[in-house]
Structure 1
Amino acid sequence: MNQPTETPLAVPVAVYRERRERVLAAMRAAGGGVAVVPTAPEVLRNRDTDYPYRHDSYFYYLSGFTEPQAFVVLDADAGAGEPASILFCRTKNAEREIWEGFHFGPEAAREAFGFDAAFPIDNLDTEMPRLLANAPALHYGFGRSIELDEQVRRWLDAVRAQSRSGVVPPTSLVDITPTLDDMRLFKDAHEHAVMRRAAQISAEAHRRAMAVCRPGMREHELEAELLYTFRRRGAQAPAYGSIVAAGANACVLHYPAGNAALRDGELVLIDAACELDGYAADITRTFPANGRFSPAQRELYDIVHAAQQAAIDATRAGVPFEAPHDAAVRVLAQGLLDTGIIARERYSSADDVVAERAYTRFYMHRTGHWIGMDVHDCGDYRERGAARDANGALPWRTLRAAMTLTIEPGLYVRAAEDVPERYWDIGIRIEDDAIVTELGCELITRDVPVLADEIEALMRNA
């Protein structure tokens, strides 16, 4: 497929250089060594056509470089005048650029992305044994890729082959992933700015879907409106497979947009957002296909909205990650009792519903997850290395300022004899993205309405 030649975008070089320096400092504190972080491989879709390429998030976090066939190598033991941060990438190839567009090549990439040195990717197997010779440790994400593990083995064998010359291989392997996870968990100002823009684009797409929605449309038609807005506003791709679920399909948590018709009197659940410059948004809204909530739909919607507001109020620096979930669950449990979806004959209070986890039949996921470069971003949810409780569980991680997470309670009521019929096959989820602050959180996805009255007004005035 022919592609036009593109010029490279401006790169915030200092951002990536500072991240590499932080990793090098952590490696030195742990005794030194060499770190290796590859980007993602290209993947064949069928015959001679690849899937659209997407870089590895860890690699991009340290480099800002989006081309395939590339490695970041960090040498914590580099001496004065020796390169500590090295990029391996494809060489310039005029003929290849006719087909694929612009490629930096090592020299231009070194300058554009602030590396100390850059080499052709074809030199990797020659340079790595030299860099690993006498290094105390090798830092990489072992076990994540069979191909990389095999490549590392060949490098170490090449170093071992020099043993008679007094050269020794690294004596320890260190998983670099936890160090990078902890760094990525706290977003800097550059990341927050990109995420806010991704959220704005995604919110505009949701508003467009609400505005054009009419009974008789198909789920995939609404999906097309979302994808159109993502690309029109400059996002590179959806952040994940868009969920557009009409009627009972909304009770399927990861339902992909299909061919089902939007029927008068039913709800539509859309969970969709874009990826912009390597960062994801994640928004869910639920709205009536005809623009008007029925009394039963409005009743459940207001319960979910109240649960989300309780979770938002509980989201701030200094509280456990679980605090927003606990707050949402208490509201949902009370709502399930008040509506009769959970019978009071069995549970006398919301505390009983929570204690016996009876709500999980209608709310089976957690209220949030980390978000960033990956829509389900990296980072531990529990405190690694902390003392375990009486049940053997680690304590939940404490929220800190600059962390980013979703807040997304829901209710999913399938048709069942023990559930009031007016609530059958109603699935509702409301999801926003939040930046944790010292005193609360900043919601960055509220450019799309969330109150039921506001949703109806948007659809009525479209």
Structure 2
Amino acid sequence: MISPLEYKQRRQKLMSAIGKGVAVFNSAPYAVMHNDVEYVYRQDSDFYYLTGFNESSAVAVLAPNHSEHQFILFVQPKDLAKEIWTGYRVGVEGAKDLYGADAVYSIEELDEILPKYLVSGDRIYYHLGRDLNFNARIIHYWQKLTESYPKRGTGPTGIEDSNFVLHPLRMIKSPAEIEMIRKATEISVKAHKKAQEIAQPGKYEYEIQAEIEHTFRSLGGDGVAYPSIVASGANACILHYIENNRRMEAGDLLLIDAGCSYGYYNGDITRTFPVDGKFDPRQKDIYQLVLEAQLAAIEMVKPGNTYNQYHDKAVEVLVEGLKELKLLQGDSKEIIEEKKYEPFYMHRTGHWLGLDVHDVGNYKQDKENWTTFQAGHIVTVEPGIYISPYITPAEGQPEIPDYWKGIGVRIEDDVLVTESGNEVLTAGIGK
């Protein structure tokens, strides 16, 4: 688990980065499933990264230049009548003891007290996110403080997006974070192995999904990192297929994209395999090509290389292979530049992984320069080929024979950048 000391160190790094500013973070609201039934609560990742606090209706403030308090929390007060219905609250005193805040107040005091902390900074760092009401609240505080600025000569003169300061810090995973992700991937690997053991013709996709998600929870995971994709036959050509209601048949490939969340950190694995245990020749050709592209891409994930290089390598291998299979034709450079491969491969080769499955962080540093890999980065590597029954070839490319249609293959691993190269965290499940 992440220690209180590490949360404190994260806050200190952020306070050093904002200088004379004040940063404000709002907790995630409850999301409604239907009518008055709510989804299981999931804290905002930025809020959790800085505090470890897992309740709604909370605000965290970092005020490095305040004379007394640098870390301030506003939380829901204890209310036993409400806690009977919705669960126990830490409360004001508990939050101070457990989370290391210099001061903790009831969330009901926010309008009165928060402006007194905001005035200690020269700008407000806040991300204008999905909570429109809280966005308006922050803007209102800032407007009132700017109105009175001429009388004080101090206070925030602008609002800056906290994402541009905090998210670069989140990109480099600490040893403790790596261990959390390692645990999430270990559980994910075991779930995928179980799925491969029980998959067979005649079973439904949802039966496999149920076994995967049972394994996540039974091994101590929080549950799914994202809705599980269990896609057999032509369903594998739908990138985010989640209906999972088809009956599998002999001759099908089964694409499973599923990951476990553990302590808010996530695994993300895709494997594709034949339901009846044997590839037919066309499936084998496509699978082998995707595997070659993935292995070549993984080799590019290392310190000093840039983020785009592993995607470019995967595309190069896929294009050459599709040409050999006569599914593409022409000059490879032209095919790549004009993206004529996209009817078969329409997504990037991976993404950052961490507290969010599609984790935060810039892929490009500016218009021309991609982010350079550093030790502590974690990415997914997930090339694929999808030959939909409804595929339309790019202009100037050959028609797709029915022989190939309905095949979808993706292979995905989670890869840690190390000082000397990389480590495939999900190597425990075969390819």
Q: TM-score, normalised by structure 1?
A: 0.88
Aligned-residue offset at 1:169: 4.4
Unaligned stretches of 5+ residues in structure 2: 392-397
Which SS does the other structure have where 1:72 is aligned?
strand
| Equivalenced residues, count | 424
State how far apart, in whole Å, the 1-side matches of 2:35 and 2:238 are.
Answer: 33
- Of 379, 385, 389, 1:405 maps to 379
**Residue 240 in structure 1 maps to residue 226 in structure 2:** yes
Which SS does the other structure have where 2:307 is aligned?
coil
**Residue 429 in structure 1 maps to residue 429 in structure 2:** no
Q: Identify the residue that residue 14 of structure 2 maps to in structure 1.
A: 23
Query: Are the equivalent residues in 2 in contact too, given 1:34–1:75 (CA < 8 A)?
Result: yes
Which SS does the other structure have where 1:65 is aligned?
coil
State how far apart, in whole Å, the 2-side matches of 1:421 and 1:156 are.
Answer: 62
Q: Identify the residue that residue 422 of structure 2 maps to in structure 1.
A: 441
Q: Identify the residue that residue 284 of structure 1 maps to in structure 2.
A: 270
Amino acid at match of 2:123: A
**Residue 102 in structure 1 maps to residue 88 in structure 2:** yes
Amino acid at match of 1:296: R
Q: Identify the residue that residue 192 of structure 2 maps to in structure 1.
A: 206
Q: Identify the residue that residue 219 of structure 1 maps to in structure 2.
A: 205
Aligned-residue offset at 1:103: 2.0
Change in Cα spacing, 1:202 to 1:134, as seen in structure 2 (3 Å) is closer
5 Å-filtered alignment, 1:134-173, equals 135-142=121-128, 144-159=130-145, 166=152, 169-173=155-159
Change in Cα spacing, 1:163 to 1:285, as seen in structure 2 (3 Å) is closer
Amino acid at match of 1:369: H
Amino acid at match of 2:77: T
Which SS does the other structure have where 1:259 is aligned?
coil
Aligned-residue offset at 1:414: 2.4
Amino acid at match of 2:336: V
State how far apart, in whole Å, the 2-side matches of 1:407 and 1:26 are.
Answer: 31
Change in Cα spacing, 1:33 to 1:357, as seen in structure 2 (3 Å) is closer
Change in Cα spacing, 1:446 to 1:158, as seen in structure 2 (3 Å) is same
5 Å-filtered alignment, 1:26-425, equals 26-28=17-19, 32-79=20-67, 82-133=68-119, 135-142=121-128, 144-159=130-145, 166=152, 169-342=155-328, 346-347=329-330, 349-384=331-366, 393-415=367-389, 418-425=399-406
Aligned-residue offset at 1:164: 8.8
State how far apart, in whole Å, the 1-side matches of 2:143 and 2:314 are.
Answer: 54
Query: Are the equivalent residues in 2 in contact too, given 1:138–1:172 (CA < 8 A)?
Result: yes
Change in Cα spacing, 1:15 to 1:134, as seen in structure 2 (3 Å) is closer
Sequence identity percentage = 38
Which SS does the other structure have where 1:270 is aligned?
strand
Amino acid at match of 1:354: I
Aligned-residue offset at 1:354: 2.5
Amino acid at match of 1:270: I
Amino acid at match of 1:74: L
Aligned-residue offset at 1:134: 5.3
State how far apart, in whole Å, the 1-side matches of 2:27 and 2:17 are.
Answer: 21
Q: TM-score, normalised by structure 2?
A: 0.94
State how far apart, in whole Å, the 1-side matches of 2:42 and 2:83 are.
Answer: 18
Query: Are the equivalent residues in 2 in contact too, given 1:316–1:440 (CA < 8 A)?
Result: yes
